[in-house]
A and B are shown apart, each in its own frame.
Chain A
Amino acid sequence: MNHNISIEPIGNKSLWDKFIDESPNSLLFHKWDFLKIAEKYTGYKVYAYGFYRRDELISVLPIFHKKRKGMNFVYSPPQTTLSYIPYMGFAFSPTYYHLNQHEKESGLCSMISEMDQVLRGLSANYVSYATVPGDVDSRPYIWNGYEALLQYTYVIDLERPLEAIWEEFDRNCRKRIEAAEKLRPSVIRSDDSGTLFRIMRERFADQGDTFFHRQTPEYLKELLSTFPDEIKMYFIYSGDELIGADVNCEYKDLCMSWMGTAVMKENLNANEYMLWEIIKGAKDAGKKRYENLGADEKRLNDFKAKFNPSLIPYFYIIKKNILYRTTSYIMEKMSKKA
């Protein structure tokens, strides 16, 4: 055991959720019920760990474990094609963020070392964390043998006046929103996850095994009913015709366009319109940030960047042991030969 940090499993939902609600970097995806639903629908087993510094809980980490083809996989969050969860990893207490830089660094190093002991107990061959944007320090992972892959996402600051946010949109974006407004589309809240999945499956038919093909609509349905104040699905109609759909995730001061933003009628400018409506709604609800998830797909960035967001980095942290590396290498060679 490390002298400063100790690790213990947490089985108490209210202790966990209270910590998550108070943590400055935690997300809805860290909440107990969210983890349990992800466990139920991904087939991975969830473990919830707490890290204590002198008896004070200063961090928690949920991990998902599964043995597949003789290999042990540990994820936090589980693969996006199964869970659509973008970030997870460590959630820290306000105390952690108030530590000075030196204690923060040594604290995170110790937490990762403690966690690695647990992972050794699980005989993990592959470990992957996706850190929450804003937590920039990947060094303690690297010093513990992990590799860090850089990723980006887009965030809009909602603390500015709405007019200032609007003025910063590309001219063409504003024009498209104004054109859509003339059609008086209606945005209606819905829990019809089956329709969203059907639309998305059709839209991504040529993209292989996406989340919408691998997962069932019941997963989203259960999330919508468990978190009615946080996860909201909207359908956008022109008259009676469904022209767009979006699933938002709202938690603390963040509103995230999470799942979808599917548009069925490209020529109606529904995408820009819907995003603007979400931004206005989020600001009205007192949110401070709006995240348009993901900035690593070039084909989507041209649309997302129209709203003049800030670019925020985050990391995939990965460790593969020698057995995993060797097996992957052989499999790759064999598939190339075939």
Chain B
Amino acid sequence: MLATVPAIVPDPAENCRRQWRQMALSALYTTSDGAGEQALARQLHALRTLLGEGGVPVGTADSATSLQPRLNDAQQVAERLRCVNGEEQAPALLQRCLDEAAAAPDVLAQRWLAQQTLAVLEWLHASCEAPHAAALPTLMRLCRQLYALLEVAQRPSWRERLRQVEIVLLAHFLRGQPFDAAVLQQCSGFFWALHYCLPDTWMPQIPLAMGLPDASMPQTPLAMGPPHAGSPQTSSTTRLPYMSFTSSLVAGNRGMFTLSEATGIDCAPIGEVPACMTPALQRMQGMLASAECAAPPSAPMVLQGYELAVVALQLRAMAAAILFGCLQALLVEHWSQALPLAERRRRCLQKRYGAARLEPGTLREALYELAEIWPPAHQSADLQVPLAGDGGSSAGSIRLAAIPTLLSRRLPTLNAARQAWFARQEEFAPHQLALQSELMMLERGAAAFKVRGIERLCGRLLELLMLLDLQGTLARFPGALLWRAHCHLLHLLDAAAAWWEAAPDQELLQALQDRSRQLLPAPPPANRVAEPAALGEDEAWHEVRRQLLGYVQSFSSLLDIQMRLEISGDGATWPVERLWRLQAALMPLLRYLLLEFSLALEQRRALRLPTTGCLWLCLQRDAEGGPQAQLRDDSAHQAPGAVQWQQLQHRVLKYAGAGIRCEETTLGRCFTLTLPLVLPVSPGGSPPRLY
């Protein structure tokens, strides 16, 4: 995403001149050739459009006013040329006309500036409704173009203001702060003010303080929309345009003020770096100088960067605070992604941490330089991760950068847990479901954020809780172990919430795994299950669950993957015979899914997808009341390949007389197993043989 920022179109001022020359040359060429009258007419039309058709061109440059009649003449000549080929007067006249126009690039720049500002406003209007991740870089790119145009158009005062807005936006983005519709709307105030000011030749110097809270002005952001009748550009009265213009300007200033307030930083373009920070800055430079090229920034370096940023902020050295805050964000980016500091980045950091004073323009230049050298891994922050919520019933996508927010807002049970809950199974049971739900969500989020410690701990805890649930009161409740794991999880979460290192306790992980293994039921033989027909429905349902879970756990252990099976639904109401057939039908499907997950594990790691899988089995009735089972798998979106699918269908039919279909969903895929009462006939003509 950040890579788009430096990929700015060539300097608009230069671009403006270049396009002008190109048009001139093109027009001259087509004329001297004697065959391009229509092309000439098009070029002249483009020139006239650029300068403002039918009115006084923007600005008061003499060259512009003298240019317009000559262009009109040239247009007439071009039209005559359509009738009379070989007119010799045209090139000379056109040449004179173009020479004059080329001498007035500022006029063109102003016109371009007006068009560009309107484009920004239109873009803001469109983006305010639904701001998205790409909004800020786009806005910064537009700002950068405007900035260069303001220079050519000789608007130094507005250029200075735009520079401040740019600094706010860029710092906001580099520091990874959330960007929402409110900020976009605040920007609109500034750009409206700029839009209203452009037609005027004078530049009123209204101090920024005038834009501060004013009872006469609405507190809400400016309404968006095109200039209405009576706006400064069209009104014939004097007072109304002046008031309207001033209001816009004040609102623009307020827009900028509230923008800076919203982002938490002041718009200070220059400033001294406080002398008391010198030793800390020298320490940082020493660290950078001695850092190994192939190593990511060390934790002390990141802490030192943080200290410099907050000290500058506390001392209200705002320019330094903005710069150091962004440098810190760059260090954190490298640190969290374990990226080594490339030579260019290291040099940039050393140079910027070595500045004793930030001159006008330095801050903007430094921030754009940072944007250019930002590590490309930052672009993957847009990765969308499907999150399964309560038992898989709800789900959504979140941005990678939103993981800490997720951690902090959706874990009320984990945070409220007390040691007393873990004393006995009866105390624990009322909270178990909520805890499991939060753990599951955490596991997914941690996987996306590559906090492997949390992902693994959650996986182990979920595994143990599921097996405990399965065993019921038969198993001894490992309260002390669960409480220890819970405290450790909170410890890791605290670190992760601060984007700090989270190293799991290996001994604890091993203890959890050992306990799970003790509870693991003996797996049934593949393709053949112990028939629970002699049992009642409840017991049979329990037995089927036990065997399915045991199968998934033992096979996962064999493949060295983490995969869980969550089972829900009304299996206890199913006829025993159907349960048995369901189990037989699920075996080949589960085996296929586990193997597939195992084969794709490396790829999943590379793509930052969760390395722990979960399957949700739900038993229900179809529209006609017949038993039906759905197995949801969110680890893949595509249906199995043709050959595998054929084999699966064959096995499901052969072992259980069941039908199977696969649907691709937004969150993955869903397999539906139907178990008809009358066994279907196999392709060979005889009913399937059930084991």
Do the two shown chains form a genuine complex with each other? Answer: no
